[in-house]
Structure 1
């Protein structure tokens, strides 16, 4: 019990340190309208996607911040279900790079590896989709989703800090519960080290990198570098496979592609990364 409390406390401190600053930074960049000024950097990616240059703002918001900001910028563009599938597949793999790569750094996986892996895998995924003779039918959806507007910089900081703190508390509570449940199951039923590896993968698949990594941070001393590399690589490609795809499915994106292709790529790329590492 004492070990579980210590692990939960250390994980909570790490989550607070990672979540809150990045959340506030994203709101500051949006508040000062800086994001549109740097979105041109991502136009080559939209060209590879076969999407209009206007989508680059959504891609920039997704890569640098989160999927909610990306959808807010993409929703008014009137994308087709096929285009939403392309966008959802790429951003499902590459969203929130600064914060999620920093979390992976705690597991010993470098920022350079994480960034290159996720961007190249995201591009590979959309190239596969564009090559395949797919016919994704549905109606073009055009909505207006407003980002939060604030009367002053102070109001924005207060609101951002409140939302970031609420998100951090939510994550801390869930990760703490998972840590305690996992420890109880391991001590009473399984008593196997391998359980940590599989459990963290399933946690990441269904709940996301932050949750899955939260479990791994407690158990990483028991895993060798190859296991950490495999799990980290897998989770960076296939994570949050319920909530994230659902955001794009609302606009007509194909769920089988958004989920299935990411799992297939995660297995293949993770296995390849470990084989390369061992050689």
Structure 2
């Protein structure tokens, strides 16, 4: 009787072991499933993408009429004897994005030969774009491109470039000499940026029939004067759009002027590659 009691205890103890193993196994499976479910839940949640900051709005949404961007008085002073006082507008698919105008003339009233002059002005405007950047940033890239282009003008001699204060937000004046039509020409190109608009103005001249070539100083002075007026015209155009028209029908006349300017631009030549007509030298 005393020997059978311990034996019974050992049997009961062994019988309890599988029960504990089963409980442990269930607990392990349960923990594993919980971890899987937790992992599945976290991986299924999409991560939020950071929002890109909006680009700065463009300052100007239109361009001035290029043929009135330089005053008639300045045209008369810089291009005496101009063939067309109102200028020749360049072709453009959209005058609010790109426009240009040019003037040329031969002043043969002098006793010591004739003086030839050419002036052209071009505007390029850039809109702000989320993928391309702000209008000002895009215009800055174009400004740099135009300065480089002017400095690399084919056949140019004694090229010099200097920053120019007082014309837009940034400006550069490029000067050089060029020989064509058997005459020596003095050139000055002013590239300026105001907001999201780039203004490129070129002024050049030569003496014919024994007349002297104009000085680089006088050509630079004329080019910078005209460039200031062209840059100011950009802001004036923007101001005119937000200023209420005066009474008396000025609003209608303004609209008519815009239509006439658009028609003139469609008929004009391509100012990107202006071709000067060789003036006839005055007989001595």
User: Structures share a fold, TM > 0.5?
Assistant: no
More helix by share: 1
- When normalised by structure 1's length, the TM-score is 0.23
Task: Look at both structures and tell me which one has the larger radius of gyration over its CA atoms.
Answer: 2
- When normalised by structure 2's length, the TM-score is 0.23
